[in-house]
């Protein structure tokens, strides 16, 4: 039951969010022709650190914006400010 | 938006009401839940440029709040912040004339969009001294007036249902916008919660 | 018969006697008593028989740590601890020996409450009250939780405090991330309580948490340490001070620290004959004031005797084997023991804090607390080894004269002994987690509050190691058992999960529809008439669509409004086929893939303007599709100027399907040219039905001539009723989702989620023609993976049983004809009115190439031979869709 700070809506309960896995994993660009290794890297390979993890959350029951933050996978402590994703900044 | 009436029968709200007047759908000693049927609603999307927000507010005759989770108000007309590029303008009286003008006159940047969502959600009002405590039975938000003030709004969960929540008139009354298909469930939940509340 | 009520003292109200029954015996107590204190006051020493060995057991403790005195409360037989049940007139309780009786199901729902506070104080003892007063004085919202009932009136400053909430009978059962305290407020299960009152599960988000949770005393482990009359010393003191009850008449105190001395003196002062204080330590600590009572320092209690209750204790020097043969025997009916104390800090462990053995305090505690948490009072003193709590010389196991361990009880509730721990060690176990599970120590209803540390102490002694080397076992929520119904809260029965209904729902109910759940929606499944079976109703509804006209509520389809200058480009990227070339006013069937190339959803996209599309999704997939599209837009393509808005609930829709649908539509929209030329397949018209604006799509999911009419959802019911009225003489027939499923399966149309399960590609479904070769789309890059191009992938085929009446259940395994191994499974299976027989669709390994051959289905243990055919069984040339 994390308390996640949405850059737009402030601290909200975890039940308002959906976890989006590791942050910073870019999808192949449209019209790019990725190799099998590249595509499987994007689809299947993620870091799974013990400790600080940069991850994405979607404020799905709130403003529906995607945010990213760093969380300790040991203590669940959120270690960073939430960063907005997309075109807009608060 | 609501002027048209189908040949026989006409409009029915998600809770089965056929009148513009607010109808009490469930009540207890310290709280009343009403449906404001057929409240006109317009979903507005645009990049939050102050100039465009201002111009839009002028034409819609209600301030479009730039600050997240805030409400602009002019009489019964409200503009609710939903997302950095999304607002919901609602008016229990009539929005249609302004909207028609809005879209006809044009002159907006090409990615400004308007979607009529009047029937997508219905507006409930929870009023009375126990309204806040009743909401706390199913809403994780801190609704203390010192935290959630008269000009606040929020998208959140109530009884596991997506809702838009705001204060009506700066009193102890709350507005709850719920999607039409969930409205009956939410009222059933409120009815049950009220039963427990006064047990 | 050893306990008795003092003439004076205690916080009970002696002016208010209370009568209750225990196993049918009528007993008296006072207002303010618990069942446990009243039983002690009445001299009841045996309250239970132990679960495995049937040994007599008495009350040991005064709080939630009580292991023995479980009782079943009438009516309903809810299992409670006698130490927690407040005495009220008419209370009837039963002792629990062995297994508890199954309690009656409490049908009264529970409530969930969300709450927000600046400070939550857990525990309303002296330290908790002080902490609450301080927090209130500092300003801010304060909550005080007390697991038991109030010991007395709240102090000044709290009674009328505005932002203060006191919750008695409320146990904090968990502490979660960022100081989320979850607490169970017990408002049921006690006679006299409002029978309609609901238990509450509080979710309290706190800025700061103060743990004034106290401490739990540990018993000592010696032979026959489980007899009634052997109690925790501190609890003996509680019964004395709070309830005015002396637990015996002739007492021995057995301790390994100074804290029990005060109890010995208080007992003596109350008129109890305290024979001796047996102190394991040669030199008692500085706070050990015996007040004239004889102290046998450096001695231990090595055993006890008694029939039902305690009769005598056997005292020997701690060291000196020679004297073991002739112990000093002291007659006593009360043995107050103190093996040390454990701070009640399990709430800290819920979020990952590790408790470690602190040698200076002789207990598992913490040296650091998490941010925004404070420990105060007894919990802090015990944790830090302050005062009397610094004087412990732990004795984990007192050897018996005969060397046996099988009556050295460690966990009274589980009837587990030091011998059980030895057996675990002999079996090779070293980890406390393994020993816990082998011995079951700590797994009872009391969660090992009085046994956990002793288990580790005995284990360390047997292993010849130290407690620093042995971590405590994991403490999980809930701290004390709470009923499942409380966790469920109001979400049960009809409220279990949100239910969505369409604006036309009432018409379906009125028509006697059966409903099925599709996602959260209730959809009309079929409309059986009086005396008609479900199967017959479906056949009739299918026939109506194939031969006449049927109507269906399609309001549940997900609908997404897509607008913006880049709308065309966006839609091209998210569907496999091309949409940017679609003409305004036209629709196209589209397929969406996940990034891994698997089929994700299907639906139609209609171009309403150059920069404006209307997308439909599957009923169950609507929310996921909108989230998915929004994710790509926000996180991958922020440069695209596109806005997505859900309009699912804005529009109500009715499908009009069948050869007579054109005639019916013409009646509804007399000004619309409904001819096939003027209103061709896969186009849309905006038209007024009377004065009501409607969007009419010519679209088909049955293969027949068909339309979908959408209006603002306020008018959905009116639309449905108007269509039904206009088509009465055409025998217009409402059809449900089952008929829709049959009709589409006859045409070989797949349903995402029925023919697919997240491992199925477009090619597997025979839909590779929908994969554009001239543009990029989500999932394209993954389609070349070797596994996805294997010829033996499971592919969609039609299946016809030899017996045209045999219905092969969906999910049946497909096996090679006469061979072994699973080759696929049946995904859809129906009786068809149009085909006059049963048929099925299935996914079969290398299925496309096997069309024309045979396969077996496994049905109830039998092999059923099937013909493998093309999946499109009805109108393969699409000759019917224009009517």
pLDDT per position as a tens digit, C706-758 = 999 999 999 999 999 999 999 999 999 999 999 999 999 999 999 999 999 99
Among C337, C332, C326, residue whose Cα is nearest residue C225? C337
Q: Which residues does chain C have within 8 Å of residue A74's beta carbon, measured at their own beta carbons? A: 352
Q: How far is A20 from chain B (nearest CA, A)?
A: 19
Q: Is pLDDT at C32 greater than 80 in this prediction?
A: yes
Residue B4 in any domain: the answer is: no
Q: Check CB contact of A63 with chain B, cutoff 8 Å.
A: yes
Last residue of a domain, one of B81, B116, B151: B116
SS3 string, C694-739, reads EEEEECCCCCCCEEEEEEEHHHHHHHHHHHHHHCHHHCCEECCHHH
Residue B51 in any domain: the answer is: yes
Instruction: Say whether both B54 and B97 belong to one domain.
Output: yes
Cβ-based burial of B191 (10 A; exposed 0-12, middle 13-18, buried ≥19): middle
Per-residue pLDDT tens, chain B, 199 aa: give them.
Answer: 333 334 345 899 999 999 889 999 999 999 999 999 999 999 999 999 999 999 999 989 999 999 999 999 998 899 999 999 999 999 988 787 777 777 777 788 888 899 999 999 999 999 999 999 999 999 999 999 999 999 999 999 999 999 999 998 767 899 999 999 999 999 999 999 999 999 8
Q: Check CB contact of C176 with chain A, cutoff 8 Å.
A: yes
Q: How many domains are contained in chain A?
A: 1
Structure confidence by residue, pLDDT tens digits, C60-75: 999 989 999 999 998 8
Domain C743-778+790-869's class?
Answer: mainly beta
**Cα–Cα distance measured from residue C48 to residue C411, given in angstroms and rounded to the nearest whole number:** 15
Task: Find, in chain B, the residue whose alpha carbon is nearest to that of C566.
Answer: B111
Count the Cβ atoms, other than its own, within 10 Å of residue C791.
Answer: 9
What is the pLDDT at residue A72? Answer: 95
Q: Is pLDDT at C137 greater than 70 in this prediction?
A: yes
Q: Is pLDDT at C302 greater than 90 in this prediction?
A: yes
CA distances from C152 to C88, C765, C808 (A): 17, 72, 70
What is the pLDDT at residue B102? Answer: 79
**Cα–Cα distance measured from residue C118 to residue B36, given in angstroms and rounded to the nearest whole number:** 36
Please report which helix (H) or strand (E) contains residue B9, including its range.
none
What is the pLDDT at residue C189? Answer: 66
Count the Cβ atoms, other than its own, within 10 Å of residue A45.
Answer: 11
Structure confidence by residue, pLDDT tens digits, C151-180: 667 888 888 888 999 999 999 999 999 999
Instruction: Say whether both B30 and B77 belong to one domain.
Output: no
State the fold for domain C521-555+651-742: Gyrase A; domain 2 (3.30.1360)
**Cα–Cα distance measured from residue C770 to residue C780, given in angstroms and rounded to the nearest whole number:** 12
Count the Cβ atoms, other than its own, within 10 Å of residue C459.
Answer: 27
* B117–C647 C-beta distance less than 8 A: yes
* B115–C561 C-beta distance less than 8 A: yes
Q: Name all chains with 3 or more CB-CB pairs below 8 Å to chain C.
A: A, B
Q: Which residues does chain C have within 8 Å of residue B136's beta carbon, measured at their own beta carbons? A: 113-115
Average pLDDT taken over every residue of chain C:
94
What is the pLDDT at residue B3? Answer: 39
Residue B164 in any domain: the answer is: yes
**Cα–Cα distance measured from residue A37 to residue C753, given in angstroms and rounded to the nearest whole number:** 29
Task: Find, in chain B, the residue whose alpha carbon is nearest to that of A11.
Answer: B141
Q: How many domains are contained in chain B?
A: 2
Residue A39 in any domain: the answer is: no
Owning domain of residue A84: 1-22+46-90
Q: Is pLDDT at C372 greater than 90 in this prediction?
A: yes
Residue B12 in any domain: the answer is: no
Residue B151 in any domain: the answer is: yes
pLDDT grade for C82, boundaries at 50, 70 and 90: very high
Q: Which residues does chain A have within 8 Å of residue C637's beta carbon, measured at their own beta carbons? A: 30
Residue A33 in any domain: the answer is: no
Task: Find, in chain B, the residue whose alpha carbon is nearest to that of C690.
Answer: B7
CA distances from C387 to A20, B144, C361, C378, C489 (A): 51, 43, 10, 11, 44
Residue A58 in any domain: the answer is: yes
Instruction: Say whether both B103 and B171 belong to one domain.
Output: no
Establish, for the pair of chains B and C, how many residue pairs have beta carbons separated by less than 8 Å.
Answer: 155
Q: Which residues does chain B have within 8 Å of residue C564's beta carbon, measured at their own beta carbons? A: 110-111, 113
ipTM score for this prediction? 0.97
Q: Which residues does chain C have within 8 Å of residue B193's beta carbon, measured at their own beta carbons? A: 111, 490
- What does the DSSP 8-state code read for residue C89? T
Residue A38 in any domain: the answer is: no
pLDDT higher at C195 or C661: C661
Helix (H, G, I), strand (E, B) or coil at C611: coil
Please state which CATH number belongs to domain C404-469.
1.10.10
Residue B9 in any domain: the answer is: no
CB distance C621 to C595 below 8 Å: no
Q: Check CB contact of A3 with chain B, cutoff 8 Å.
A: no
What is the pLDDT at residue B6? Answer: 44
Residue C715 is nearest to which of B11, B160, B182, comparing CB atoms? B11
Structure confidence by residue, pLDDT tens digits, C497-542: 999 999 999 999 999 999 999 999 999 999 999 999 999 999 999 9
What is the pLDDT at residue B2? Answer: 37
Structure confidence by residue, pLDDT tens digits, C201-215: 999 999 999 999 999
Residue A34 in any domain: the answer is: no
Phi/psi of residue C40, nearest 5 degrees: -60, -45
CATH number at residue B101: 3.30.70.1520
What is the pLDDT at residue C1? Answer: 54
Q: Check CB contact of B68 with chain A, cutoff 8 Å.
A: yes
Domain C111-211's class?
Answer: alpha beta
CA distances from B75 to B33, B63, C143, C398 (A): 21, 11, 39, 81
Question: Where in chain C are the domains?
Answer: 1-105, 111-211, 404-469, 521-555+651-742, 558-646, 743-778+790-869
Count the Cβ atoms, other than its own, within 10 Å of residue C407.
Answer: 19
pTM: 0.95
Last residue of a domain, one of B78, B97, B116: B116
Cβ-based burial of B4 (10 A; exposed 0-12, middle 13-18, buried ≥19): middle
Q: Is pLDDT at C365 greater than 80 in this prediction?
A: yes
Structure confidence by residue, pLDDT tens digits, A9-67: 999 999 999 999 999 998 888 888 888 888 889 999 999 999 999 999 999 999 999 99
Phi/psi of residue C253, nearest 5 degrees: -110, 130
Last residue of a domain, one of B116, B138, B173: B116
What is the pLDDT at residue B8? Answer: 42
Q: Which residues does chain A have within 8 Å of residue C633's beta carbon, measured at their own beta carbons? A: 86
Instruction: Say whether both B86 and B175 belong to one domain.
Output: no
| CATH number of C558-646, picked from 1.10.287.3510, 3.40.50.300, 3.30.70.1400, 3.30.470.20 | 3.30.70.1400
Instruction: Say whether both B123 and B32 belong to one domain.
Output: yes
Residue A29 in any domain: the answer is: no
Structure confidence by residue, pLDDT tens digits, C682-713: 999 999 998 889 999 999 999 999 999 999 99
**Cα–Cα distance measured from residue C851 to residue C289, given in angstroms and rounded to the nearest whole number:** 95
Q: What percent of chain C has pLDDT over 70?
A: 98
* C691–B6 C-beta distance less than 8 A: yes
Q: Which residues does chain A have within 8 Å of residue B87's beta carbon, measured at their own beta carbons? A: none
Residue A10 in any domain: the answer is: yes
Residue A15 in any domain: the answer is: yes
What is the pLDDT at residue C105? Answer: 85
* B110–C499 C-beta distance less than 8 A: no
Tell me if C521-555+651-742 shares its fold with C743-778+790-869: no
Q: Which residues does chain C have within 8 Å of residue B130's beta carbon, measured at their own beta carbons? A: none
Which of A27, A68, A82 should one mutate to test binding to chain C, selecting the residue with the greatest count of C CBs within 10 A?
Answer: A27
pLDDT grade for C815, boundaries at 50, 70 and 90: very high
What is the pLDDT at residue C217? Answer: 97
Owning domain of residue B125: 23-38+119-197
Residue C111 is nearest to which of B2, B119, B196, comparing CB atoms? B196
DSSP-assigned states of every residue in C317-350: ESS-GGGGGS-EEEE-SEEEEE--EEE--HHHHT
Please state which CATH number belongs to domain C1-105.
3.10.20.440
CATH number at residue B147: 3.30.1360.120
* B110–C611 C-beta distance less than 8 A: yes
Structure confidence by residue, pLDDT tens digits, C532-583: 999 999 999 999 999 999 999 999 999 999 999 999 999 999 999 999 899 9
Q: Tokens 């007139």 correspond to what residue?
A: C89
CATH number at residue A64: 3.30.2270.10
C778-789 mean pLDDT: 92
């Amino acid at each position: 039951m994390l308390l996640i700070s949405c850059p737009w809506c402030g601290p909200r309960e975890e039940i308002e969010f959906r976890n989006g896995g590791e942050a910073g994993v870019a999808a192949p660009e449209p019209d790019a022709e990725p190799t099998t290794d590249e595509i499987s890297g994007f689809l299947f390979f993620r870091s799974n650190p013990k400790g600080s993890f940069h991850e994405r959350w979607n404020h799905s029951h709130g403003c529906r914006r995607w945010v990213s933050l760093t969380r300790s996978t040991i203590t669940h402590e959120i270690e960073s400010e939430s960063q907005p994703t997309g075109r807009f900044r608060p | 938006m609501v002027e048209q009436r189908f040949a026989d029968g006409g409009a029915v709200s998600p809770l089965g009401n056929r009148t513009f007047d607010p109808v009490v759908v469930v009540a207890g000693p310290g709280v009343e839940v009403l449906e404001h049927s057929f409240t006109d609603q317009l979903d507005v999307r645009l990049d939050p440029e102050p100039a465009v927000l201002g111009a839009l507010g002028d034409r819609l005759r209600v301030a479009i709040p730039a600050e997240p989770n805030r409400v602009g108000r002019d009489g019964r007309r409200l503009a609710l912040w939903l997302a950095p590029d999304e607002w919901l303008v609602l008016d229990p009286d009539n929005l249609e004339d302004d909207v028609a003008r809005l879209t006809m006159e044009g002159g907006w940047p090409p990615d400004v969009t308007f979607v009529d969502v009047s029937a997508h959600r219905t507006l409930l009002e929870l009023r009375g001294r126990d309204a806040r405590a009743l909401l706390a039975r199913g809403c994780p938000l801190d609704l203390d007036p010192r935290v959630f003030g008269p000009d606040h709004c929020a998208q959140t969960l109530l009884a596991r249902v997506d809702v838009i929540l705001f204060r009506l008139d700066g009193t102890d009354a709350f507005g709850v916008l719920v999607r039409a298909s969930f409205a009956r469930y939410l009222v059933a939940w409120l009815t049950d919660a009220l039963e427990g509340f006064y047990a | 018969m050893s306990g008795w009520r003092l003439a004076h003292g205690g916080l009970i109200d002696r002016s208010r006697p209370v009568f209750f029954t225990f196993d049918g015996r009528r007993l008296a107590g006072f207002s303010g008593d618990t069942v446990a204190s009243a039983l002690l006051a009445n001299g009841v020493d045996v309250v239970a028989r132990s679960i495995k060995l049937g040994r007599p057991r008495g009350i040991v403790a005064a709080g939630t740590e009580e292991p023995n005195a479980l009782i079943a409360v009438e009516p309903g037989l809810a299992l409670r601890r006698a130490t927690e049940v407040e005495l009220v007139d008419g209370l009837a309780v039963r002792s629990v020996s062995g297994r508890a009786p199954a309690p009656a199901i409490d049908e009264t729902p529970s409530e969930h409450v969300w709450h927000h506070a600046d400070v939550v104080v857990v525990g309303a003892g002296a330290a908790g009250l002080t902490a609450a007063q301080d927090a209130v004085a500092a300003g801010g919202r304060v909550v005080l939780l007390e697991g038991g009932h109030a010991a007395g009136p709240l102090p000044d400053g709290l009674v009328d405090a505005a932002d203060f909430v006191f919750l008695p009978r409320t146990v904090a059962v968990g502490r979660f991330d960022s100081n989320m305290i979850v607490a169970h407020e017990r408002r049921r299960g006690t006679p006299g309580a409002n029978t309609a009152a609901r238990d509450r599960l509080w979710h309290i988000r706190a800025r700061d948490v103060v743990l004034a949770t106290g401490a739990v005393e540990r018993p000592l482990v010696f032979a026959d340490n489980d007899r009634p009359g052997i109690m925790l010393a501190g609890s003996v003191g509680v019964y004395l001070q709070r309830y005015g009850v002396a637990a015996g008449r002739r007492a021995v105190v057995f301790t390994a620290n100074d804290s029990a001395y005060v109890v010995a003196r208080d007992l003596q002062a109350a008129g109890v004959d305290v024979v001796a204080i047996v102190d394991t330590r040669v030199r008692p600590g500085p706070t050990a004031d015996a007040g004239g009572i004889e102290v046998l320092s450096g001695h231990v209690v090595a055993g006890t005797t008694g029939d039902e209750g305690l009769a005598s204790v056997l005292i020997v020097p701690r060291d000196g084997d020679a004297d073991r043969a002739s112990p000093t025997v002291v007659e006593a009916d009360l043995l107050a023991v103190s093996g040390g104390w454990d701070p009640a800090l399990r709430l800290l462990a819920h979020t990952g804090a590790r408790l470690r053995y602190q040698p200076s305090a002789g207990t598992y505690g913490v040296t650091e607390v998490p941010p925004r948490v404070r420990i105060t009072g007894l919990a802090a003193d015990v944790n830090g080894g302050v005062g009397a709590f610094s004087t412990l010389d732990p004795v984990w196991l007192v050897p018996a004269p005969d060397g046996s361990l099988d009556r050295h009880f460690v966990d009274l509730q589980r009837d587990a002994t030091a011998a059980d721990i030895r057996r675990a060690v002999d079996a090779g176990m070293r980890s406390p987690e393994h020993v816990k599970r082998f011995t079951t120590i700590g797994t009872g209803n009391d969660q090992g509050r009085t046994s956990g540390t002793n288990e580790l102490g005995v284990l360390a002694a047997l292993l010849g190691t130290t407690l620093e080397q042995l971590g405590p076992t994991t403490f999980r929520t809930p701290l004390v058992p709470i009923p499942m119904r409380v966790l469920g809260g109001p979400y049960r029965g009809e409220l279990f999960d949100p239910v969505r209904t369409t604006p036309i729902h009432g018409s379906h109910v009125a028509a006697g529809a059966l409903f099925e759940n599709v996602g959260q929606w209730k959809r009309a499944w079929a409309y059986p008439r009086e005396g008609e079976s479900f199967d017959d109703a479906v056949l009739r509804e299918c026939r109506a669509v194939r031969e006449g006209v049927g109507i269906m509520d399609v309001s549940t389809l997900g609908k997404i409004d897509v607008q913006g200058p880049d709308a065309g480009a966006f839609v091209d990227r998210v569907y496999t086929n091309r949409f940017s070339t679609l003409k305004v006013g036209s629709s196209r069937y589209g397929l969406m893939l996940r990034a891994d190339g698997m089929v994700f959803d299907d639906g139609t996209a209609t171009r309403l303007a150059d920069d404006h599309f209307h997308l439909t999704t599957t009923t169950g997939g609507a929310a996921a599709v909108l989230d998915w599209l929004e994710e790509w837009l926000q996180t991958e393509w922020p440069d695209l100027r596109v806005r997505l808005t859900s309009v699912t609930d804005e529009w109500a829709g009715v499908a009009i399907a069948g050869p007579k649908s054109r005639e019916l539509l013409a009646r509804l929209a007399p000004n619309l040219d409904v001819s096939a030329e003027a209103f061709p397949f896969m186009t849309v018209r905006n038209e007024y039905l009377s004065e009501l604006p409607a969007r009419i799509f010519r679209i088909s999911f049955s293969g027949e001539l068909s339309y979908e009419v959408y209006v603002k959802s306020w008018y959905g019911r009116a639309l449905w009723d108007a269509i039904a009225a206009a088509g009465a003489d055409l025998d217009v027939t409402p059809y449900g989702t089952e008929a829709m499923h049959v009709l589409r399966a006859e045409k070989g149309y797949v349903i995402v989620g029925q023919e697919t399960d997240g491992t199925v590609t477009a090619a597997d479904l025979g839909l590779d023609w929908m994969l554009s070769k001239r543009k990029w789309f989500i999932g394209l890059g993954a389609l070349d993976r070797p596994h996805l191009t294997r010829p033996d992938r499971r592919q969609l085929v039609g299946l016809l049983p030899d017996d045209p009446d045999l219905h092969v259940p969906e999910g049946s395994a497909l096996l090679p004809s006469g061979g072994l191994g699973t080759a696929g499974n049946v995904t859809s299976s129906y009786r068809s009115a149009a085909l006059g027989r049963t048929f099925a669709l299935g996914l079969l390994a290398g299925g496309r190439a096997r069309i024309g051959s045979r396969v077996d289905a496994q049905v109830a243990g039998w092999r059923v031979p099937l013909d493998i055919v093309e999946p499109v069984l009805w109108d393969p040339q699409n000759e019917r869709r224009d009517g």
